[in-house]
């Protein structure tokens, strides 16, 4: 196996580990003024979207597993590694998003002041109480990046497999 085949995995792992040391203080504040009644709606939409993306990611991995069950040709090893790496990390991000929804909803301050406030911007909240620097919006964006790279890698694999087998 070539060392180049480990490149997508290595870069993805470094990128994800780097997020735990990510200091968000350099960013401009993007908190929006949100009404508290909209928080549950936003979280329901996020749950539906993450569930849908998880289904697509699982289907891609299942289809790939079925196609490579008898082995992978040497020319297709790198695209297969890219698909598994990117779609796998997208699936991990999806699971973190889905797991963080109850935590975010529990941490919403639903005190007596129910006016619009930046306190209710769930995208700027941390995933869990113990992850102060990783926001829900950041993981959602990361999920989309890995999902997109996984789809591109899957298209690359399928196009090369069709050319080789034609």
Mean pLDDT of all residues belonging to the chain: 80
Domain segments of the chain: what residues? Answer: 34-105+117-165
Report the candidate in 1, 5, 3 with the shortest Cα–Cα distance to residue 85: 5
Cα–Cα nearest to 15, from 103, 143, 157: 143
Q: How much of the chain, in percent, has pLDDT values that exceed 70?
A: 73
pLDDT of residue 112: 47
- Tokens found for residue 51: 């569930």
Instruction: Output the pLDDT for position 114.
Output: 61
How deeply is 64 buried, as exposed, middle or buried, from its count of CB atoms within 10 A (0-12, 13-18, 19+)?
buried
Tokens read off for 23: 């200091």
pLDDT band of 36, cuts 50, 70, 90: low
**What is the total residue count of the chain?**
166
Alpha helix locations (H) across the chain?
A: 7-20, 37-67, 77-107, 136-165
Q: What is the mean pLDDT of residues 88-98?
A: 93
pLDDT at 34 over 90: no
135: which strand partners?
126
């Amino acid at each position: 196996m070539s060392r180049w085949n480990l490149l997508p995995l290595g870069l993805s792992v470094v990128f994800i580990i780097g997020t735990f040391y990510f200091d968000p203080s350099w960013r401009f504040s993007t908190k929006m003024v949100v009404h508290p009644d909209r928080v549950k709606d936003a979280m329901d939409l996020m749950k539906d979207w993450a569930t849908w993306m998880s289904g697509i990611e699982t289907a891609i991995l299942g289809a790939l597993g079925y196609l490579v069950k008898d082995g992978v040709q040497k020319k297709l090893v790198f695209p297969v590694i890219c698909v598994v790496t990117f779609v796998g990390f997208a699936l991990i991000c999806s699971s973190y998003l889905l797991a963080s929804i109850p935590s975010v909803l529990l941490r919403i301050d639903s005190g007596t002041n129910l006016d619009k406030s930046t306190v209710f911007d769930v995208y700027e909240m941390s995933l869990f109480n113990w992850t102060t620097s990783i926001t829900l919006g950041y993981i959602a964006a990361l999920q989309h990046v890995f999902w997109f790279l996984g789809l591109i890698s899957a298209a690359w694999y399928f196009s090369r497999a069709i050319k080789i087998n034609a």
